């Protein structure tokens, strides 16, 4: 495989940092990824050379910043294979994207008594917005439960769909367990009943090649910061046929066509959904992050991360005190586990002192923790800049944690 992790590590300045005088071992990539120098430099470059509010500017800087922003939109469009740039909307992140879709879709399509199917595996960001709109319109959120491996069953989904189902929403990959969900099958089943599907891709876009046209999904959302880009920028892909019909989410800025005191007409897609001054600097830097990922190749990334997952899994399996939470057959490079008799927070605190960053707690998926009847997990999530040597250090760290707590 054409993959030299040591060369790649040189691209990420933070990986040279010392934590408590120990080399940083960053295994919290599902929460946010580190940024390559190309992305950091791009942010500095835009503020240094091109900063100006975009759209409708007559002067050079505004035109330049607008062009770079729209180029970034095309980079995203090509990366996910959207049919048109009209179907690529920039948001602040996955959460804002889901809130936008939930609110705007519900305003147009959800009525009293309707049902919204939400999987039990969801991040709060893909549950709470649907609870809010369900309450507002008198609709019901229907739980699609997962099995004890952390997998969703198509048969169960089929049993939940009925004439009242208006939309199905599910993540591509679970953030707390790493399960890769069978979204192709989900979308096929839903479409056979003319039900649209929203995919929360926050944990997939950085690990798996996504082709929204091949998937035929109706909506797909993700955050820039999980794919080596900046915080504060995210993407909605939406089929034009839905977006055209859906009302604007917020008002003001470039989302208008004409405004009078009596009436406002709205801009065309995608601008109809981009109210206010857009986060053009981070949009441009997200484009740079995607170019960087493409230069390595998402399939190379997936293969190497899978190697890391299998290595870590085998290594941690040799520790008898470890209980794995979420053992799906198809997983991204996320391992969630507990150590018998030791609180995840205590383990995480000790690992931190060794320079090892893992995430502990509920991972914004309290219903997932409730399913397993636990109060949290230790989650190690790997990116393509991590190494097997670092996983050995995690193993050693966990042994020390167990020794310490007796
Ligand atoms: N969905 C999933 C599956 C996530 O992992 C996250 C972030 N942890 C989100 C949604 C929300 O993303 P953001 O906080 O970037 O809006």
pLDDT in tens, 228-243: 999 999 999 999 999 9
Report d(CA 248, CA 402) in Å as an integer: 53
CA of 79 from ligand 1 middle (Å) equals 20
- Among the candidates 253, 278, 294, a domain finishes at 294
Report d(CA 123, CA 129) in Å as an integer: 11
Q: Is 121 in the pocket of ligand 1 (CB under 6 A)?
A: no
User: In the predicted model, is pLDDT for residue 1 greater than 60?
Assistant: no
Q: Is 94 in the pocket of ligand 1 (CB under 6 A)?
A: yes
Q: Is 206 in the pocket of ligand 1 (CB under 6 A)?
A: no
Q: Is 36 in the pocket of ligand 1 (CB under 6 A)?
A: no
Residue 56 banded pLDDT, cuts 50, 70, 90: confident
Per-residue model confidence (pLDDT) at position 320 = 98
Q: Which residue do the tokens 């955050």 mark?
A: 223
Residue 377 banded pLDDT, cuts 50, 70, 90: very high
Residues 290 and 301 in one domain: no
Atom of ligand 1 nearest to the CA of 200: 1
Report d(CA 173, CA 126) in Å as an integer: 12
Say if 115 falls within a structural domain: yes
Residues 235 and 149 in one domain: yes
Residues 200 and 97 in one domain: yes
- Among the candidates 294, 315, 348, a domain finishes at 294
Q: Which residue do the tokens 């319109």 mark?
A: 137
**CATH at residue 184:** 3.40.640.10
Per-residue model confidence (pLDDT) at position 366 = 98
When pLDDT is averaged across residues 320-343 and rounded to a whole number, the result is 98
When pLDDT is averaged across residues 71-84 and rounded to a whole number, the result is 98
CA of 228 from ligand 1 middle (Å) equals 14
Report d(CA 199, CA 217) in Å as an integer: 7
Element (H, E) at 88: strand 88-91
Per-residue model confidence (pLDDT) at position 3 = 81
Tens-digit pLDDT profile for residues 135-145 = 999 999 999 99
User: In the predicted model, is pLDDT for residue 400 greater than 90?
Assistant: yes
Per-residue model confidence (pLDDT) at position 390 = 98
Residue 406 banded pLDDT, cuts 50, 70, 90: confident
In Å, the largest CA–CA distance within the chain is: 72
Residues 269 and 322 in one domain: no
Q: What is the DSSP-derived secondary structure letter of residue 48? A: I
Residues 172 and 60 in one domain: yes
Token output for 287: 């484009």
User: Number of structural domains, the chain?
Assistant: 2
Say if 35 falls within a structural domain: no
Residues 220 and 367 in one domain: no
In terms of residue numbers, what domain contains 323?
5-30+297-404
Q: Is 34 in the pocket of ligand 1 (CB under 6 A)?
A: no
Report d(CA 304, CA 206) in Å as an integer: 13
Token output for 253: 């800025």
Residues 69 and 110 in one domain: yes
Residues 307 and 262 in one domain: no
Report d(CA 396, CA 401) in Å as an integer: 9
When pLDDT is averaged across residues 142-171 and rounded to a whole number, the result is 98
Q: Is 363 in the pocket of ligand 1 (CB under 6 A)?
A: no
Q: Which of 364, 365, 367 is the pocket-test mutation for ligand 1 (most atoms within 8 Å of CB)? A: 364
Nearest residue (by CA) to ligand 1, atom 12, is 94
Nearest residue (by CA) to ligand 1, atom 14, is 95
CB 252 within 8 A of CB 276: yes
Say if 227 falls within a structural domain: yes
Residues 217 and 330 in one domain: no
Handedness of CA 371, 372, 375, 377 (dihedral sign): negative
Handedness of CA 186, 219, 84, 62 (dihedral sign): negative
Say if 359 falls within a structural domain: yes
CA of 130 from ligand 1 middle (Å) equals 15
Q: Which residues are catalytic?
A: 364
**CATH at residue 325:** 3.90.1150.10
CA of 370 from ligand 1 middle (Å) equals 19
- Among the candidates 258, 279, 294, a domain finishes at 294
Per-residue model confidence (pLDDT) at position 297 = 97
Q: Is 181 in the pocket of ligand 1 (CB under 6 A)?
A: no
Residues 20 and 56 in one domain: no
Tens-digit pLDDT profile for residues 276-289 = 999 999 999 999 99
Say if 69 falls within a structural domain: yes
Q: Is 28 in the pocket of ligand 1 (CB under 6 A)?
A: no
Nearest residue (by CA) to ligand 1, atom 8, is 31
> Lowest-pLDDT range, 157-171, 207-221, 249-263?
249-263
Say if 391 falls within a structural domain: yes
When pLDDT is averaged across residues 70-97 and rounded to a whole number, the result is 98
Residues 225 and 369 in one domain: no
Residues 64 and 141 in one domain: yes
Token output for 235: 């993407």
């Amino acid at each position: 495989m054409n993959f030299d992790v040591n060369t790649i590590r040189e691209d990420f300045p933070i990986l040279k940092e010392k934590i408590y005088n120990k080399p940083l071992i960053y295994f919290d990539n599902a929460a946010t990824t580190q940024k390559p120098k190309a992305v950091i430099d791009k942010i500095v470059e835009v503020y240094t050379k091109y900063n100006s509010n975009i759209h409708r500017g007559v002067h050079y800087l505004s035109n330049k910043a607008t062009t770079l922003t729209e180029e970034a939109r095309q980079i995203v469009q090509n990366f996910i294979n959207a049919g048109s740039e009209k179907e690529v909307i920039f948001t602040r992140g996955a959460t804002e994207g889901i809130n936008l879709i939930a609110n705007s879709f519900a305003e147009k399509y959800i009525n009293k008594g309707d049902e919204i199917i939400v999987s039990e595996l969801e991040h709060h960001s893909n549950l709470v917005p649907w609870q809010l709109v369900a309450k507002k319109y008198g609709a019901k959120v229907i739980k699609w439960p997962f099995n004890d491996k952390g997998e969703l069953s198509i048969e169960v989904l089929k049993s939940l769909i009925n004439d009242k189902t208006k939309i199905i929403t599910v993540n591509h990959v679970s953030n707390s367990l790493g399960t890769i969900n069978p979204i192709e099958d989900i979308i096929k089943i839903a479409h056979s009943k003319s039900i649209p599907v929203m995919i929360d891709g926050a944990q997939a876009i950085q690990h798996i090649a996504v082709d929204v046209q091949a998937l035929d999904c109706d909506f797909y959302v993700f955050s820039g910061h999980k794919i080596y880009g900046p915080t504060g920028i995210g993407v909605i892909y939406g089929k034009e046929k839905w977006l055209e019909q859906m009302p604007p989410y917020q008002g003001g800025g470039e989302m208008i066509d004409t405004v009078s005191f009596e009436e406002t007409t709205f801009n065309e897609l995608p601008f109809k959904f981009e109210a206010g001054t857009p986060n053009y600097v981070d949009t441009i830097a997200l484009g740079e992050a995607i170019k960087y990922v493409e230069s390595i190749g998402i399939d190379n990334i997936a293969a190497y991360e899978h190697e890391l997952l299998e290595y870590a899994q085998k290594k941690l399996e040799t520790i008898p005190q470890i209980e794995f939470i979420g053992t799906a057959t198809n997983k991204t490079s996320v391992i969630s586990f507990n150590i018998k008799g030791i609180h995840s927070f205590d383990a995480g605190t000790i690992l931190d002192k060794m320079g090892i960053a893992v995430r502990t707690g509920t991972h914004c998926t309290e219903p997932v923790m409730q399913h397993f009847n636990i109060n949290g997990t230790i989650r190690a999530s790997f990116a393509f800049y991590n190494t097997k040597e670092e996983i050995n250090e995690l193993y050693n760290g966990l042994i020390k944690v167990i020794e310490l707590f007796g």
